[in-house]
Amino acid sequence: MSDEDISSHRVFIGLGSNLGDRHGRMRAALKLLDEHPRITLEKHTDFVETEPWGVPDQPIFLNAVACITTTLEPHALLAELKRIEKKLGRVERVKKWGPREIDLDILLFGDLVIKTENLVIPHAQLTRRPFVMGQLLEIEKNIVHTVHRVPLRNFLDSD
């Protein structure tokens, strides 16, 4: 297969950190994404402090959204994100939505809709997290939710 046969996918990644050197880990995650031979970092939002979601009694998060293009398929990209998290010191936690050194989530992967045991695209909590939707819309103001088939901004306007 030649390089011309490999299709490129536009993907949005959510980044978050609320332990240790949050800024340093977020910058390192973006750098590692961009250095990957099959990933190109197109752009990312500024880092924004947000209140914890899901488990309120924990440190403030630093969040951002990145837009990448990749020739990796969804599960291969997920494996790469997990590898980057581990390289940057992520420790697996027992508490869901608890504190973490770094978190990299696939928010949207082109127009794909996937629901497997270890991967849900679009991200299962996307429309319940206004700070993530706001950052996504900062990059792509007319983005459409791939399940509901309506502009993502509609989920913010309905509050």
CB 74 within 8 A of CB 121: yes
Q: Quick check: is 103 catalytic?
A: yes
Rounded Cα distance, 86 and 92, in Å: 9
* Residue from 3, 34, 93, 105 carrying the catalytic annotation: 105
| Catalytic residue flag (residue 25) | no
57 is catalytic: no
Candidates 90, 111, 153, 157; catalytic one = 90
C-alpha torsion sign, points 78, 126, 151, 46: negative
| Contact indicator for 64, 47 with CB cutoff of 8 Å | yes
Catalytic residue among 22, 25, 103, 129, which?
Answer: 103
Task: Verify whether residue 157 is a known catalytic residue.
Answer: no
Rounded CA separation 66/47 (Å):
10
Selecting among 10, 22, 46, 100, the annotated active-site residue is: 100
Count of Cβ atoms closer than 10 Å to residue 23 Cβ:
11
**Residues annotated as catalytic (active site), given as ranges:** 90, 100, 103, 105
